Amino acid sequence: LAKPQASLVSTTCPYCGVGCGIDVVVKQGEQAEKPGSLQLSQLSGSSDHPANFGRLCVKGSKLLETNSNVGRLANPKIMGKNADWPSAINKVATTFSDIIAKHGPDAVAFYVSGQLLTEDYYVANKLMKGYIGSANIDTNSRLCMSSAVAAYKRAFGADAVPCCYEDLELCDVLVLVGSNAAWTHPVLFQRIERAKQRNPELKVISIDPRITATSELADLHLAIKPGTDVALFNGLLAYLAANNGLDQNYITQFTQGFEQALSQSQQWTISNVAELCDIETQELKTFYQTFCQADKAVTAYTMGVNQSTRGVDKANAIINCHLASGKLGREGCGPFSLTGQPNAMGGREVGGLANMLASHMDLDNPIHRDIVQNYWQSPTIANKAGFKAVDLFDEINKGKVKAVWIMATNPVVSMPNRDKIINALKKCELVVVSDCVASNDTIELAHVVLPATGWSEKDGTVTNSERRISRQRGILEPYGESKHDWQILCEVANAMGFAQGFNYSQVDEIFREYAGLSGAQNNGQRDLDLSALATLTVQQYQRLSPLQWPVNQQNPQGTKRLFTDGRFYTQSGKAQFIPLTYHAPEQLTTVDYPFVLNSGRIRDQWHTMTRTGKTAELTSHISKPYVAMHPQDATRLSLQEGALIKLSASHSNEQSAVVLMVTIDDKQRKGELFAPMHWSAMNSSHGAITSLFTDANDKISGQPELKHAAVALEPV
Ligand code: SF4
């Protein structure tokens, strides 16, 4: 596509699922060596972008600094040595083809990322599922929101987020569960703060084991024992039933399975929920009363719900309460999963998860498989789910998956059980990494490294937490020899003999194809429908304004809220209650491993710090890894502020133990620790805390339990 000529280019921030719009001032470069090249000189929040209306958080506002080319990967490498593109593409294509010929399509895999643009994701998914013929493509979004996806599918028949950001401002009660939005979704949190200033009647309830910047805004904070959410919301369902909080008309007209779900919840009284969750009875009662009496309520949730062996059940326990009280499908209402990554939702849309097809179609539905294969005119179509992230690395470890292509992510730091990931990659016959950075813990183990374009160069679309598709516009020329991810994928596909489906010359062609697929034989039967965008011209694609899907004939300007007519995407058209049983987390403490370890993010860093770690202004907020501990625990162990302690878990060995500095913090619950997840063995001498988490994951979603490990402490 031609580069925009205007001095102001609107694009999106790549650092979280809020998906803020950014205006970048672009000017001609003045350096003698590159006269006339474009430079980004300033940025500000886009005042007309509906996610942020001009606001940015500190990460977004420092994007120009973190966008520097320091540490960029400039050219392909094979076995650590510089290589030209044809050699690198040939190496990847021939090795993949040879392995497939010998061992079948399930012997290869892609592990991709919510950092990819939707068009990149679409091409990766098409190559793996339609041409290679395996569904072995999974994504780091598995670690982010796959439990929320599975819960929406169980309840609504589709991975369809019902709400929009405005609902956070229009509700009477906002319940934030397992979310420190003040640090992880800062611009949304600013919107909540302002809404509360405008409407002091708006009640905010924070449910989080820790006191955080988010819970400090709340009218009520329930510091529940980690992992007890299912009991908490089962108790709310029982309370609604006993206290006139049900919307019987809604239940009768639009739902199924209420009686079973209620019956499963009846054992949860105020007193036994309070006891299990380890909170005051009166506080619990206040929460239940407040939700019950509110006309409009939103429950927003993130990793504290999703990253759990019972993440899907937790999300369904929340959804059950919204269905029972009719708080869904109208202004200021709904169960709202906030995604972590900028394009976690775009990846879901085009089938980036190993258990989905493109355009929210199902792998196990033969009609859907036919629609996709006919549309693609592809030689084959995967007909069973591929390996989800944790299983995928297991299969690599076992030698069943022999080649993996990792795109724009760093699983050696972000996946649990780091030793297993390292061992798996060491055993793998071919590890390919495409990324914009020259080094990280995963690249260290790669045989082939391919330079991909970065934020200011990539061109395409992303979808934020409220289903809003925005353009991320390519502004600068690709750095060094880097190429767009979709281009690299097309070159490999061509070299594997799949030229017919991968001859795109511009990114808008991919978007149109994807939009057309979403509308194929749809007739309102599927939630994701972009058919109104399937005929965009290049110019219209360039100018595309942010829109919430579905965008079709009925809703050409997009759709704010879903399920306003009470019609769902299940076979019966009714929403499903799910009867739920409380189960404790799997990584439980023992006498030898007596502390619960929780992991999470800090305010100014993003993922494994490969980009946000570049600027002192972001590292100055919290500059070193740490572990937060309650003062009474510190006293009991005779630990002072700043003391070094070694953390170990029963499955970890001496090398994977992590040494961290103690921060004494009365915002922690006793017996529980918190450590940020950003640092790794590469950017600190302390190790990566993901080493301390086992493979325990949700049986339905496959999302790992990254909020609840059992660890031992030892002074260093
Ligand atoms: Fe970027 Fe998220 Fe901050 Fe918005 S809130 S500026 S999307 S990091």
Alpha carbon of 449 to those of 77, 136, 405: distances in Å? 5, 20, 10
**pLDDT tens column, 76-120:** 999 999 999 999 999 999 999 999 999 999 999 999 998 899 999
Q: Is the CB of 56 under 6 A from ligand 1?
A: yes
**Nearest atom within ligand 1 for CA of residue 342:** 7
Residue 452 has pLDDT above 50, yes or no: yes
Compute, in angstroms, the gap from residue 168 CA to the centroid of ligand 1: 17
pLDDT value for 4: 46
The closest alpha carbon to 109, from 489, 429, 443, 405, belongs to: 405
Kindly give the distance from the C-alpha atom of residue 19 to the centroid of ligand 1, in angstroms, as a whole number.
6
ipTM score for this prediction: 0.99
Whole-number percent of the chain with pLDDT over 70 = 97
Would you say residue 617 lies in a domain?
Answer: yes
Cα 214 to middle of ligand 1, angstroms: 16
Q: Is residue 56 part of a domain?
A: yes
User: 540 and 439 in one domain?
Assistant: yes
Q: 178 with 90, same domain?
A: no
Which atom of ligand 1 is closest in space to residue 464's alpha carbon? 7
* Ligand 1 atom 3: residue of nearest CA: 57
- Take atom 8 of ligand 1 and give the residue whose Cα is closest: 15
Check whether residue 139 and residue 151 sit in a common domain.
Answer: no
Tell me the C-alpha distance between 116 and 181, whole Å.
Answer: 23
- Angstrom distance (rounded) from CA 583 to CA 312: 12
Nearest residue (CA) to ligand 1, atom 6: 60
Tokens at residue 699, please? 């049986």
Asked, for residue 97, whether it belongs to a domain, the answer is yes
Last residue of a domain, one of 66, 93, 109: 66
What is the token pair recorded at 331?
């202004």
Q: What is the pLDDT of residues 2-36, one digit of tens each?
A: 544 558 999 999 999 999 999 999 988 765 456 56
Return the CATH number at 320. 3.40.228.10
Domain that holds residue 188: 146-338
pLDDT tens digits for range 244-294: 999 999 999 999 999 999 999 999 999 999 999 999 999 999 999 999 999
Distance 15 CA to ligand 1 centre (A): 6
Same domain, 373 and 497: yes
Q: Ligand 1 within 6 A of 57 CB?
A: yes
Note whether 406 and 515 are same-domain residues. Answer: yes
Q: Is residue 555 part of a domain?
A: no
- Residues 291 and 183 placed together within one structural domain of the fold: yes
Give the integer Cα–Cα distance in Å for 271 and 228. Answer: 14
Query: For residue 186, how far is its CA from the centre of ligand 1 (angstroms)?
Result: 7
Domain boundary among 66, 92, 107: 66
Q: Is the pLDDT of residue 662 over 60?
A: yes
Angle at 165 between CA 352 and CA 148, to 5 degrees: 40
pLDDT at position 684 over 60: no
Answer yes or no: do 674 and 684 share one domain. yes
Domain of 92, CATH number, reads 3.40.50.740
| 687 — pLDDT class (breaks 50, 70, 90) | confident
Check if 20 has its Cβ closer than 6 Å to any atom of ligand 1: yes
Same-domain status, 442 and 461: yes
Does ligand 1 have an atom closer than 6 angstroms to the CB of 340? no
- In the predicted structure, residue 482 carries a pLDDT above the cut 80: yes
For ligand 1, pick from 47, 55, 59 the residue to mutate: most ligand atoms within 8 Å of CB: 59
Question: pLDDT tens digits, residue range 179-233?
Answer: 999 999 999 999 999 999 999 999 999 999 999 999 999 999 999 999 999 999 9
d(CA 689, CA 625): 10
617 Cα–ligand 1 center, Å: 16
- Distance, CA 56 to ligand 1 centroid (Å)? 6
Is there a domain that residue 557 lies in? no
272 shares a domain with 401: no
Q: Are residues 527 and 408 in the same domain?
A: yes
Residue ranges of alpha helices (H) inside 415-555 are 418-427, 485-495, 507-519, 538-543
Alpha carbon nearest to ligand 1 atom 4, residue? 20
Tell which atom from ligand 1 comes closest to the C-alpha of 45: 6
pLDDT tens digit string along 375-416? 999 999 999 999 999 999 999 999 999 999 999 999 998 999
What distance in angstroms lies between residue 60's CA and the mean position of ligand 1's atoms?
Answer: 5
Does one domain contain both 295 and 157? yes
Structurally, how many domains does the chain consist of? 4
pTM of the model: 0.95
Q: Does position 589 have pLDDT exceeding 90, yes or no?
A: yes
CATH number at residue 637: 2.40.40.20
Cβ of 15 less than 6 Å from ligand 1: yes
| 1 inside domain | no
Q: What is the pLDDT of residues 109-146, one digit of tens each?
A: 999 998 899 999 999 999 999 999 999 999 999 999 99
Name the least confident of 32-41, 353-362, 405-414, 548-557.
Answer: 32-41
For the CA of 188, the nearest atom of ligand 1: 5
**Picking from 135-149, 558-572, 649-663, 672-686, which range would have the lowest pLDDT averaged per residue?**
672-686
Distance 115 CA to ligand 1 centre (A): 14
Within this chain, do residues 140 and 158 fall inside the same structural domain, yes or no?
no
- The reply to whether 566 falls in a domain is no
